[in-house]
Amino acid sequence: MTDHESILSDAEREALSAVMQAPAALTVLIVDDPRNAADLLAAQLSSHGVQCLVLDDGQAVLQRLKKDRTIGLLITGLHMAPVDGLGLIRLIRGTERAALPIVITSDEADVQDAISAMRLGVVDFLLGPTDMEALLALVRRELGVN
């Protein structure tokens, strides 16, 4: 072997390069009803450098989670139709993305809602109005961002 020959093939160098590249920034997926509440929350988080995606309903969330591995956190409203936030979480917990961190937000909820959410392993249950500083700290912690 001469001094300029590589011990790695071109394919091995490409594979190593792909592994060594920084991972894609994780995205917060937000779903709520009404949609404008989700859009507002996404705008507030985005203004602090958090990458967000807003979807309209639980079915769209399930489809997106199947194909998008950059989703690192889900923020869902509690009261949505046709599937509410707790129903959506139950569906997610039955998929390969079962370990996804999830936060529920709601302007009104009862103790049973909170108990059900905690049994489903949510990261937090935030009652409105949303404390943006607390939510931002929570999002950054869950995404592993400083």
Instruction: Please report, rounded to a whole number, the percentage of residues in the chain having pLDDT higher than 90.
Output: 69
Q: What is the DSSP letter of 29?
A: E
Q: DSSP letters of 46-110? A: HTTT--EEEESSHHHHHHHHHH-TTEEEEEEESS-SSS-HHHHHHHHHTSTTTT--EEEEESS--
Domain parsing of the chain, residue ranges? 25-143
Q: What confidence category does residue 103 fall into, taking pLDDT thresholds of 50, 70 and 90?
A: very high
Q: Which residue has the tokens 């049973």?
A: 112
**What type of residue is 137?**
A
Q: Is the pLDDT of residue 20 over 80?
A: no
Q: Is the pLDDT of residue 22 over 60?
A: no
For 106-146, the pLDDT digits (tens) are 999 999 999 999 999 999 999 988 899 999 999 999 999 87
Q: What is the pLDDT of residue 25?
A: 72
Residue of 76, 74, 28 whose CA lies nearest to 51 = 28
Q: What is the CATH number of domain 25-143?
A: 3.40.50.2300
